[in-house]
Amino acid sequence: MSLGLDLNNSGYISVIKPKGWSSNQLLSKLKWLFQIKKAGHGGTLDPFATGIVPVFFGESTKFSNRILESNKEYIAELKLGFESSTGDTEGEITKDSSFDNENLPHNLKNILNEFIGVQKQTPPKYSALKYNGKPYYEYARAGIEIPLKKREIEIFSIDLVNFTNQQITFQVSCSKGTYIRTLGEDIAKKIGTKGYLTNLERIRVGTIKKIDSFSVEQIEELSIDNRKKLLKPIYELLELPKIQLNHTDTTNILNGQNLVIEIESGEILLFSEKNFIGIGISDGKIIKPVRLIRSKIN
List the one residue out of 117, 103, 74 whose CA is nearest residue 191: 103
pTM over 0.85: yes
Q: Yes or no: say if 187 and 74 are a contact pair by the CB < 8 Å rule.
A: no
Task: Check residue 5 and give its pLDDT.
Answer: 41
What DSSP designation does 101 have? G
User: Using CA atoms in the order 224, 225, 229, 231, what is the torsion angle rounded to 10 degrees?
Assistant: 40
Identify the CATH assignment for 240-292 out of 3.40.50.300, 2.60.120.1570, 2.30.130.10, 3.40.50.360: 2.30.130.10
Residue 156's identity, in one-letter code, is F
**pLDDT given at position 296:** 55
Per-domain residue ranges of the chain: 11-70+207-235, 72-205, 240-292
Q: Is 226 helix (H, G, I), strand (E, B) or coil?
A: helix
Architecture of domain 11-70+207-235: 2-Layer Sandwich (3.30)
- The phi-psi region of residue 143 (left if phi > 0; otherwise alpha if psi is between -120 and 50; otherwise beta) is left
Fold of 72-205: Pseudouridine synthase (3.30.2350)
**What is the spatial distance between Cα 30 and Cα 217, in angstroms, rounded to a whole number?**
11
CA 255 to chain centre: 32
Mean pLDDT of each 10-residue bin along the chain, 298 residues long: 51 95 94 94 89 95 90 96 90 86 81 96 81 78 83 96 91 96 95 94 95 96 95 92 93 92 94 90 94 69
CA distances from 208 to 95, 221, 234 (A): 38, 23, 12
φ, ψ (nearest 5 deg) of residue 197: -80, 130
CB 79 within 8 A of CB 188: no
Could you list the active site residues?
46
| pLDDT at site 298 | 44
Same fold, 72-205 and 240-292: no
CB distance 235 to 269 below 8 Å: yes
Q: How far apart, in whole angstroms, are the C-alpha atoms of residue 67 and residue 82?
A: 35
Q: What angle is formed at CA 239 by the lines to CA 215 and CA 70, rounded to 5 degrees?
A: 60
